[in-house]
Amino acid sequence: SSVQGFKARIFWIFWALASLFLIIWFGRRAAFFSLLLGCSPLLWFSSPKTKIVILLLTIFALVGVALSLRTPSGKRLWLRSDKIKLILTGKRELWARAGSLGQRLYIWPLYFREALKHPFKGTGLARRVQKRVLKDLNEKALRLEHTHNLFLNLWLQAGLLPVIFFLIFYGYTLKYALKLAKLGNSTGIYWGGFLIAFLFMSLFEGLEEWTRFTPFWIASALIWGTSEGSSLSRPSA
């Protein structure tokens, strides 16, 4: 019924806003900007009114971030220990002292060169195995224990071929989600947004550990299943 639909919307809006609040409160910058990028399917497939609302909210969020950077608390929230000036020097030896983002830029080439030594042979699956096998490298990599990049972690653990297969699978999954959105299936829009946000987030976090990968596989199963059901229900020419 319409009442149940309204209650469901209120429920999901509440938890969405609560999640957004926690993301901002804990300063999860990659997650925040992933959400903004994830809005791109909404801008592409939604009605003109919804596009305007999403665009205004995105602009409002970016302006809010920019204004908050003018305050000490805003700088602590969004920049944390990052020293942008050191990053902009382009001197890699300084990036290790440039905070979270700088440290990632510093360690990625180290792990990338290690992956190139044995491109098709990994350390074995699981973060703990990677940490044990690459113990000496981890010492050089600021003791951050892993690459903070999903694809680089997968490459180191399983070799290059699984990464290639995963990217192909991801590409097809995103294609099916956007195809559903184009056919008027609103869930396809949200799934497409999730996949885009997941991709951006994966560039800065190792999401292969524990249950962090679970939402991706659940969403992928729903997308493939819905896409198959949609194709079966479509009348043949």
Res. 82 pLDDT band, cuts 50 70 90: confident
Strand blocks (E) in the chain: none
Q: Residue 148 region, left (φ>0) first, then alpha (ψ -120 to 50), else beta?
A: left
Q: Which pLDDT value is given to residue 233?
A: 54
Q: Model confidence over 95-152: pLDDT tens digits?
A: 878 778 888 888 898 889 888 988 898 887 877 778 788 888 888 777 777 788 889 8
What pLDDT does residue 237 have? 46
More confident residue, 24 or 92: 92
Report the alpha-carbon distance of residue 203 to residue 201 in Å, rounded: 5
Cα of 125 vs its chain's centroid, Å? 21
The torsion angles phi and psi of 84, rounded to 5 degrees, stand at -60, -35
Using alpha carbons, list the distances in angstroms from residue 144 to 31, 82, 134, 139: 20, 16, 12, 8
Distance of CA 60 to the CA centre of its chain: 21
Predicted confidence (pLDDT) per residue in 7-26, tens digit: 677 776 776 777 766 666 66
Q: What is the pLDDT of residues 26-60, one digit of tens each?
A: 667 777 777 777 777 777 777 777 778 778 888 88
What residue type is assigned to position 19 of the chain? S
Q: What is the pLDDT of residue 165?
A: 94
Average confidence (pLDDT) over 219-233: 80
Alpha carbon distance 138, 77 (integer Å): 28
**Residue 63 Cα distances to 32, 38, 60, angstroms:** 14, 18, 5
Q: What's this model's pTM, rounded to 2 decimal places?
A: 0.78
Single-letter residue type at 75: K
Residues, the chain: 237
Q: Which is nearest to 222 in space by CA: 193, 196, 191, 197?
A: 191
Phi, psi of 185 (to 5 degrees): -85, 110
Quick: pLDDT tens for 157-200. Answer: 888 999 999 999 999 999 998 888 888 777 888 888 888 888 88
Please give the structure tokens belonging to residue 101. Answer: 């983002």
In this prediction, residue 231 carries a pLDDT of 65
Q: Dump pLDDT digits (tens) for 59-80.
A: 888 888 888 878 887 777 777 7
DSSP codes of every residue in 41-72: HHHHHS-HHHHHHHHHHHHHHHHHHHHHTTSH
Instruction: Write the single-letter amino acid at 134.
Output: L
CA distance 172 to 137: 35
- What the block records as the tokens of 41 is 């399917």
Q: Which two tokens stand for residue 18?
A: 């609560």
